[in-house]
Amino acid sequence: MTLTKAQQDILIKYEVSTLCEFLNVFPSRYEIFELSDEQNLVDGQHVILEGNIASLMKSTFYAKNKSVTHFQFVSQNGYKVSIFNRHYLKAPSDPLRKVVIVGKYKYPNQIIASNIYYQTLEQLGQIQAIVPIKEKTQLKQIKALISKALSVCHQYTIDLLPKDIIEEYQLVAQSLAMKEIHQPTTMALLSQAIHRFKVSEFLEYHLQIQNNRLKIVHTKPNRSLSRNLIEPLINSLPYDLTQDQVDALTHLFEYANQPVTLSALLQGDVGSGKTIVAMLLAYAYIKSGFSVAFMVPTEVLAMQHYLNAMALFASLHIEVHLLTSSTKVSERKTMLESVNSNPSLLIGTHALYSTDVQFNQLGLVIIDEQHRFGVAQRMKLIQKGTDVDVLSMSATPIPRTLAAVLFADMQVITLNHKPKERGDVKTHVISGNSFSTVLDDILESIARKEQVYVITSMIEEEGEARSALSIYTNLKKAFDKKFGIGLLHGKMKTDDKQNVLNAFYRNEIQMLVSTSVVEVGVDVPNATRMIIYDAHRFGLSSLHQLRGRIGRSIKPSICYLINPSDDPLSIERLNVLVQSHDGFKIASEDLRLRGPGDLIGLKQSGLPSFQFANIILDYTLLEQTKKSALKLLHSSDSEHQKFVSEVIQRSLKGID
């Protein structure tokens, strides 16, 4: 079907190439349309109002392409309405035409709108599917594209699931499920549609994991790695390993010396010491004549691991190299020649699985934050050797029973305790949008030669969220002559990032303003304070990871969560962090509090991302579908084999 230029542009914005693929742009949530009681509105309340736009819509631009639009709105009462980044909106030509406004009420007569519908409440219907709006895109355009896709893209409405699975789980037809997900008619049908997608997600996940296990875990020649190889290095460390770390190494050596390839997950809470365990294991492989690849998701983390490895192996004649997409061509060529010739440790980002990277007898692949890499990406690196052992690491520990179901292709090893050299971290929630109430504590900590992180959710201004650039600018104006202030975010050049981090390591910068790029791996023991703006915008596990950047010495540390939201759920979520430092509990609470209606997906570290399913609330279904997946994988039934083949091919397609 022919699309207009405007419709083609929308597909590009949503990163899909065809109209039919647009059906995979699922709603992020659903709005239940019931009019709010205007006589009893409370400050901060979510509201739905029907009325008339009673003025021109005037837009003001700021921060390059950001905008805020103001206008007057009349329903039972009169309000001043503001909506961000919708400068293209206009008032209806007919002043009596009803519109529906959804947003947040601000006492006494203001509304911060999230959506405006140029329809009556009756026309909208009871349930509205909300798709995240990209710049200069209107909801009616998205709805028109979805309707067109549903009418012509029949391959997306065909039942691919085997008939016995449909019967076992009592699933509605795929055609009905797809329509209800995008154009819900009743809560009952929407619930059945979501259940259908949950079953499909879990089944496909389990099939991919089990198939991955068949590829990675196979018989291999005996390695006979000796634990004695690492004892001198352990004895030279300036601290004692915890019993958990000692036990983890014992298990890893046992697994590595078995006649099948090692596939293990090392999980542990923030600061539990996973990296030193991985480095000690890597040392044993290199001393035994094998190369080791250590793949991480970000350049900042790669550089951190590289510096740690260089310090750890400084006098041990171990070749350590760093490879990222920013590595200069001349350096890359020389480095890869060395890696191809000698057993060495190569640390890097996704650049490691490039075709020109070849190892001298690759024996071990370590993957940090393994969930951030696709199956095909991991396999491309693992397949650079023969009989390669694989150690994955995750910074969000989850209960063993859940890990056994989710990570069925790996042996799960858990570090439960932190090293003794770590201090306590207290957490406080600060209401409002400023840390002025705790400024004295911040300045006192800097006066003691300690350091501070200031974390934001955005690089530039977006809506009401505070940005790294604006906060950095304001802090520079206020305190530049008193102490050093640095800025770090993901769009900076690699050299600039590293220069800022090096300055922070050396305490040349006392306050570092950053996005969540420091969430994992950055280790500055002298940092004792952290301020996180718009904390309600982060997942709890992400906040827990960020908080883990402080408390890395015996000095007492404090994390301040700045929360401008008065939403009760946001307050409840953040209080979980105040009350607990247990990563297991925090991850579970984060999942529980997200609830079954949160279709955005799980973004926190260490957990697979599902758009519809919730691995805590749907744990029984997760277990049940694992059993079904195993039956399908080993079934000789042609319908089952066809489905399994399609799932595996789909999982590998496009991940590279």
Higher pLDDT: 406 or 613? It is 613
pLDDT greater than 70 at residue 489: yes
Largest CA distance in the chain: 84
Which pLDDT band holds residue 1 (cuts at 50, 70, 90)?
Answer: low
CA 40 to chain centre: 38
| Rounded CA separation 548/422 (Å) | 10
pLDDT in the model for residue 105: 93
Q: At what angle do helices 638-652 and 187-216 cross, to 10 degrees?
A: 80
Looking at residue 599, what is its pLDDT?
28
pLDDT band at residue 656 using 50, 70 and 90 as cut-offs: very low
pLDDT at position 335:
95
Over range 602-608, report the average pLDDT: 45
pLDDT at 598 over 50: no
Whether 24 and 16 have beta carbons less than 8 Å apart is answered as: yes
User: What torsion, rounded to 10 degrees, do the Cα atoms 610, 616, 620, 625 define?
Assistant: 20
- Residue 375 pLDDT level (bands cut at 50, 70, 90): low
Q: With 70 as the cut, is the pLDDT of residue 435 above it? A: yes
Cα torsion 221, 227, 233, 239: sign? positive
End-to-end CA distance of the chain: 29
| pTM for the model | 0.68
Amino acid 519: pLDDT: 65
Give the pLDDT confidence score for residue 521 in this predicted structure.
62
Overall average pLDDT of the 40-60 stretch? 93
User: How many CB atoms neighbour CB 55 within 10 A?
Assistant: 14
Q: Say what angle helices 174-182 and 187-216 make with each other, to 10 degrees.
A: 110
Give yes or no for a contact between 540 and 464, defined as CB atoms under 8 angstroms apart.
no
Band (401; pLDDT cuts 50, 70, 90): confident
Average pLDDT on 106-128 reads: 89
pLDDT (mean) for 144-164: 91
Q: What is the pLDDT of residue 597?
A: 34
**Which helix (H) or strand (E) is 69 found in, with range?**
strand 66-74
pLDDT higher for 386 or 611?
Answer: 386
In the structure, what pLDDT confidence band is assigned to residue 51 with cuts at 50, 70 and 90? very high
In which band, very low, low, confident or very high, does the pLDDT at 464 lie, cut at 50, 70 and 90? low
What pLDDT, in 10s, does the model give residues 615-643?
Answer: 878 889 999 999 999 999 999 999 999 99
Q: What amino acid occupies position 652?
A: L
- What is the predicted pLDDT for the residue at 600? 27
Average pLDDT over residues 362-391: 85
Residue 199, pLDDT > 80, answer yes
pLDDT of residue 591: 65
pLDDT band at 417 (very low <50, low <70, confident <90, very high): confident
- Judged against a pLDDT cut of 80, whether residue 584 lies above it is answered with no
Question: Between the CA of residue 559 and those of 452, 481, 543, what are the distances in Å?
Answer: 10, 25, 10
**Integer Cα distance of 118 and 369 in angstroms:** 45
pLDDT at residue 171 is higher than 70: yes
CA of 335: how far to CAs of 306, 339, 361, 498, 552, in Å? 14, 6, 16, 20, 33
Q: What percent of the chain has pLDDT over 70?
A: 93
> What pLDDT is attached to residue 69?
95
Closest residue by Cα to residue 541 from 367, 428, 413, 398? 398
Residues 6+ apart with CB under 8 A from 231: none
Q: Cα torsion at 287, 291, 294, 300 (round to 10°)?
A: 90
Looking at residue 374, what is its pLDDT? 66
Average pLDDT score over residue span 166-189: 94
- Backbone φ and ψ for 434, nearest 5 degrees, come out as -150, 150
Rounded to an integer, the average pLDDT of 475-482 is 90
Helical ranges in 313-438 per DSSP H: 329-341, 375-382, 400-406
pLDDT score recorded for residue 432? 86
Contacts of 587 (CB under 8 A, 6+ apart): 396, 397, 398, 540, 541, 604, 606, 607
Cα 228 from Cα 64, distance rounded (Å): 60
Amino acid identity, residue 125? G
Distance CA 573, CA 570 (A): 5
Q: How far is CA 581 from CA 182, 423, 518, in A?
A: 39, 12, 19
Q: What pLDDT band is residue 594 in, cutting at 50, 70 and 90? A: low
Strand, helix or coil at 84?
strand
Complete domains list, the chain, with CATH: 5-157 (2.40.50.140), 174-215+618-652 (no CATH), 221-259+271-394 (3.40.50.300), 425-594 (3.40.50.300)
Q: Give the pair of three-digit tokens for residue 647.
A: 């799932």
Is residue 655 over pLDDT 50? Answer: no
Please tell me the predicted confidence (pLDDT) of residue 613: 87
Highest mean pLDDT among 29-33, 390-394, 461-465: 390-394
pLDDT reported for residue 606: 44
